[in-house]
Amino acid sequence: MIKMNKLFLAAAVAFGCVNAYSAKIDSSVATVNGRPVLASEYDNYLQGVIEQYQAAAPQILQQPHAKDILGSEVLKELISKELLYQAAEEEKVQVKDSEVDAGINEIKTRFIVDELTGKEDPKGADKRFNEALKKQGLTLKRYKEKIKKDVAVRKLMETKLKENVTPVEEADAKALYANVEAVMKNNTKKIKALEKEDPMKLKEAQLIAAKLKQLTAEQVRIGHIFLAAPKDMSAEDVKKKEELANQIKKEIDNGLDFSSAVRKYTEEKNALASGGDMILIKGVAPKEIDAQAFTLAVGKVSKPIKSEVGFHIIKVKEKRAEKSISYEDISRDLAQYLAQQRVQLAMAQYIEQLYNKADVKITLTFESDEQPAESAAEVKTDAKKAETVATDTKKK
């Protein structure tokens, strides 16, 4: 699933989860050493996760028991978070007011863009931040208390990780690259030897190789106008959307700036901040869009393209040919990946130690608890892939 545990290494909680801190008094879904994990906290946190998937990978939510499985994972995250909060208290971790203020200010920067216009509006950031707090029934004082706890956890984990994480050496990164290179070049002999020696290392190399193939593949940057026309839309309404798409194309042909057309017509709100720009990797996008994006010349605008979800008008803005990659190109990335893996393992082990010593009672049940483990694992794996795609898109 989307990695909630990254929260514990950040300076402050993402404001997207602010609704999890509602002051509403209600029943609990679990208790950790007698402290409740509130149902409202769980519900709001899960809703935030679902909204992220709806935006980035809606197909995952269509799988059997997907929301139920994600709910189980969210509950585990909330229990882990409470365990860490309590551990920070026991260790008497001190947090300065300036650190809390820095966390609040970092979160406020996420309100610089006005969602209604898609434009930056720094002066209105405080107002939008306070409106979001008010909408969730929160006071600034209570929110600062939560930020203080999260900063305390971050400081606690920094100490624990220094004690338990072994630094990555260049030899470690080179060994990983050798495994990845064997997979990318389909070196059967090395692949079989690695599978026999350590199947997990082979799987790791295969995942990284797949990602590298995407990053080095032919790519194109496009502007994108989207008009939704889902399968359950009536034929009459689909016809209206098609007519609107043709009208938009005609306006662009007659001189309407493409970015202006995006702001005026697109139904993809997330695209407003980027002007509708997105990166496509050859062979990944829907075939109808892929065919147009990689054949149109730079600067050209497509005719309306019909897909399973609606109509698209794209403008090709930039193209990048397929490229090769060497160890020197990705040595730093491989070292960072290994460091992250070691950090995650150390965190998981520390949380497991806390869990084993704690009195944790869970009152919430899930239908997915009754299904085969393979099915749940499949949803989690697909969710992990979605997270990777979302992260790569943001980096671009």
**Residue 2: how many CB atoms within 10 A of its CB?**
20
Partners of 281 in the β-ladder: 219
Task: Provide the pLDDT for residue 261.
Answer: 92
Task: Provide the pLDDT for residue 372.
Answer: 52
Task: Provide the pLDDT for residue 52.
Answer: 84
SS3 labels along 69-118: HHHHHHHHHHHHHHHHHHHHHHCCCCCCHHHHHHHHHHHHHHHCEECCCC
CA distances to 291, 376, 388 from 373, rounded to whole Å, are 38, 5, 23
Return d(Cα 108, Cα 130) in angstroms, integer: 9
DSSP class of residue 301 equals B
Contact 305, 224 (CB under 8 A): no
Return d(Cα 33, Cα 24) in angstroms, integer: 21
The long-range contacts involving 334-340, CB below 8 angstroms and separated by at least 24 positions, are 334/173, 334/176, 334/177, 334/180, 334/208, 335/168, 335/170, 335/172, 335/173, 337/176, 337/208, 338/168, 338/172, 338/173, 338/176, 339/165, 339/167, 339/168
Q: Which stretches of the chain are assigned E, i.e. beta strand?
A: 28-32, 35-38, 113-114, 119-120, 219-228, 277-281, 305-306, 310-320, 360-362
- Rounded to 10 degrees, the C-alpha dihedral 116/119/123/127 comes to 20
CA distances to 8, 125, 135, 278, 366 from 120, rounded to whole Å, are 29, 9, 22, 19, 42
In the numeric block, which tokens belong to residue 155? 């400081």
DSSP class of residue 316 equals E
193 CA to centre of own chain? 35
Task: Provide the pLDDT for residue 371.
Answer: 56
Task: Provide the pLDDT for residue 135.
Answer: 80
List the pLDDT tens digit at each of the 396 positions of the chain.
333 333 332 333 344 444 444 434 468 999 999 999 999 889 888 988 888 888 777 778 888 888 888 999 999 999 999 999 999 999 999 999 999 999 999 999 989 988 878 788 888 999 999 998 888 778 899 899 989 999 999 999 999 998 889 999 999 999 999 999 999 999 999 999 999 999 999 999 999 998 898 888 899 999 999 999 988 999 999 999 999 999 999 999 999 999 899 989 998 876 666 667 888 888 888 888 999 999 999 999 999 999 988 999 999 999 999 888 899 999 999 999 999 999 999 999 999 999 999 999 999 988 766 555 555 455 555 555 444 433 443 344
Contact 68, 368 (CB under 8 A): yes
Task: Provide the pLDDT for residue 272.
Answer: 63
Contact 48, 350 (CB under 8 A): no
Contact 137, 20 (CB under 8 A): no
